[in-house]
Amino acid sequence: MSSEKVIVYLTSLVAIGIIVVGLLATLLHSTVLAPIPILGVILAILILLTNKGNFAHKIENLEKIMFFITFIVIICSFILLYKPM
């Protein structure tokens, strides 16, 4: 197994762990935590698809888009948090 495939395999195991722990926390604690396993499933699918040809390039573009979306959400949350009343 090449080094890259080992990293993808271990990362997918982490994503599966996120799904399992998220489901347990959702079932035993609160349904507010339900997005965690959903995001874990999406993460696991994306990680397992990285071995398919040109998909890694698409993942990098998606990562850049999500970075900017996250940055905008953080800015908006600070604006809402510290706006004068």
pLDDT digits (tens, 9 = 90+) for 16-56: 777 777 777 777 777 777 777 777 778 777 777 777 777 77
Q: Domain residues for 21? A: 1-51
Burial class (CB in 10 A: 0-12, 13-18, 19+), 55: middle
Q: In angstroms, rounded to a whole number, what is the distance separating the alpha carbons of residues 42 and 38?
A: 6
The three-state secondary structure class of 1 is coil
Same domain flag for 82 and 43: no
Residue 67 has pLDDT above 80, yes or no: yes
What's the pLDDT score for residue 1? Answer: 56
Taking all residues of the chain, what is their mean pLDDT, rounded to a whole number? Answer: 78
Same domain flag for 5 and 20: yes
Residue 72 — pLDDT band, cuts 50, 70, 90? Answer: very high
The proportion of the chain whose per-residue pLDDT surpasses 90, expressed as a percent, equals 5
Other CB atoms within 10 Å distance of the CB of residue 85: 2
